[in-house]
Amino acid sequence: MIYREPLPLKNISLWCLLICCGLIAAYIVFVAIISIYVGMNHMQQDGFWMPILAGMISIIVILWVFLGFSKFILNRMKEEDIINI
């Protein structure tokens, strides 16, 4: 009988989840940068600071959440399973 190591589905799925979350975070940061750019181009109008403020807050919140989530996922990848097959 040929013994093969089982496919590490847990690590593969966690990496896929981390990549998907990274892409979503990158998209939201991109939209926030566009918001800041629009606010900077319309400085002559009243309320130009609102898209700048919204973009900055969005970037800070998304990066904070993504870094915390990625730290959580990376720690879950390092954990050993209780049940060994």
pLDDT digits (tens, 9 = 90+) for 27-63: 999 999 999 999 999 999 999 999 999 999 999 999 9
Res 8: pLDDT = 72
**85 domain-assigned:** no
**27 domain-assigned:** yes
CA distances in angstroms from 3 to 6, 85, listed in the order given: 9, 12
Task: Tell me the C-alpha distance between 32 and 82, whole Å.
Answer: 42
In this structure, are residues 24 and 65 in contact, taking their beta carbons and an 8 Å threshold? no
**48 domain-assigned:** yes
**7 domain-assigned:** no
Task: Tell me the C-alpha distance between 25 and 55, whole Å.
Answer: 13
**1 domain-assigned:** no
**24 domain-assigned:** yes
**51 domain-assigned:** yes
**84 domain-assigned:** no
Which pTM does this prediction carry?
0.79
Domain of residue 31: give its range.
Answer: 17-76
Please state the domain count of the chain.
Answer: 1
- Range with the lowest mean pLDDT among 2-6, 13-17, 77-81? 2-6
Instruction: Dump pLDDT digits (tens) for 60-83.
Output: 999 999 999 999 998 888 876 655
